[in-house]
Amino acid sequence: MSTTILGASLAEQPRRRASLLRRMRRYPLPTIGALLLILLVASALGAPWIATHDPFEMNVVDRLQPPNADYWFGTDAYGRDMFSRTLHGGRVSLVIGIAVAVASTIIGLVIGVIAGYFRLADAILMRIMDGLMAIPGILLAIALMSLTRASVWVVVVAITIPEIPRVVRLVRAVVLTVREQIYIEAATAIGTGFPRLMLKHILPNTLAPLIVQATYIAASAVLVESYLSFLGVGTPPEVPSWGNIIAEGRLYVQIAFWNILFPSVFLGLMVLSINILGDGLRDMLDPRLARRL
């Protein structure tokens, strides 16, 4: 069986192995989201080759130039090329979005499965999760930044920690529902051990909601990174990210609006495309909602 990101839905309705094209026509909105996202990811990954200038190169003579043939998105206060900086800024957002989604999903999955399966662990773990949920992400980031040196990985940690409880709750809820199913009892009766019970019978059921949740987490991580950078507690200023480009540009917004326009548009499109994709995946993976489309 094919193991695309849609693996879960294929497992659910294995007989309907529609071609990719048919699938795309059936779900136009997520297709648009996916295409847009692919474009943005490609532009970020390909930044070193696509970019017309070195994003760090300063041309004081050309400072605050409006968009023109040489500087497609104009230049900033130091005369750096905005087009190149915007593309490179996407790399940070991309790394953070993916890293946070993967880290919080994996950690949340492990904790959620334990909490859902073992009663005693449940009581303890869920109270810790409640505690974590009470920590505002931005304050945590500020605290972590003041304790350590600013780096992309500290930002990842700062955004991941408040996301974990949400994943844990989701996974725990699914595990609690599935563990009461008779086929779990049946599996115990035929001598299925705990590891196999988890991998074969319980985890596959968490996959669909988890994939959807991961997309939302990625979108929100991209946004939070830009808040943090904007506030000066995020990505270190020498690394261009959409957040700190916007933060630097806001000083000149009256005379050089393009300094915040282009990174903002890219940021908005990235978040929008991930959210559309996530919505679409939810509808596709949930047969009850799929009819509506």
Partner 1 sequence: MTETPVLQVDGLVKHYPVRGGLFGRAVAHVRAVDGISFAIAPGETLGLVGESGCGKSTVGKAILRLVEPTAGRVTLEGEDITALGRAAMIAKRRRMQVIFQDPYSSLNPRMTAGDIVQEPLVNFGIGTRAEQRERVDALFARVGLRPDQRRNYPHEFSGGQRQRLGIARALALGPSIIIGDEPVSALDVSVQAQVINLMVDLQEELKLSYLFVAHDLGVVEHISHRVAVMYLGKIVEIAPRAALFETPLHPYTEALLAAVPVAHPRLRRKRIVLKGDVPSPINPPPGCRFHTRCPIAVPLCREVEPPLIANAAGHAVACHLRSA
Question: Which residues are near partner 1 by CB under 8 A?
Answer: 11-12, 14-15, 181-183, 185-193, 196, 200-201, 204-205
> Minimal distance in Å, beta carbon 4 to partner 1?
16
> Minimal distance in Å, beta carbon 246 to partner 1?
45
**Which CB sits closer to partner 1, 158 or 281?**
281
Long-range CB pairs of 113-119, under 8 A, 24+ apart, other chains included: 113/171, 113/172, 113/175, 113/198, 113/202, 113/203, 113/206, 115/168, 115/172, 115/175, 116/171, 116/172, 116/173, 116/174, 116/175, 116/176, 116/179, 117/175, 117/179, 117/198, 117/202
**Which CB sits closer to partner 1, 65 or 206?**
206
**Which CB sits closer to partner 1, 38 or 186?**
186
**Which CB sits closer to partner 1, 134 or 189?**
189
> Minimal distance in Å, beta carbon 2 to partner 1?
15
> Minimal distance in Å, beta carbon 278 to partner 1?
22
> Minimal distance in Å, beta carbon 204 to partner 1?
5
- Give the separation between CA 64 and CA 256, rounded to whole angstroms: 6
**Which CB sits closer to partner 1, 35 or 186?**
186
- Give the separation between CA 141 and CA 246, rounded to whole angstroms: 19
Dihedrals φ, ψ of 135, to 5°? -85, 125
Exposed, middle or buried, 140 (CB in 10 Å: 0-12/13-18/19+)?
Answer: middle
> Minimal distance in Å, beta carbon 114 to partner 1?
18
**Which CB sits closer to partner 1, 14 or 149?**
14
- Give the separation between CA 290 and CA 5, rounded to whole angstroms: 17
**Which CB sits closer to partner 1, 14 or 288?**
14
- Give the separation between CA 234 and CA 222, rounded to whole angstroms: 12
- Give the separation between CA 18 and CA 259, rounded to whole angstroms: 45
> Minimal distance in Å, beta carbon 7 to partner 1?
11
**Which CB sits closer to partner 1, 204 or 236?**
204
> Minimal distance in Å, beta carbon 187 to partner 1?
7
H-type alpha helices, the chain: 7-12, 20-26, 28-45, 47-50, 82-117, 119-133, 137-147, 152-179, 182-189, 194-196, 203-231, 242-249, 258-285, 287-290
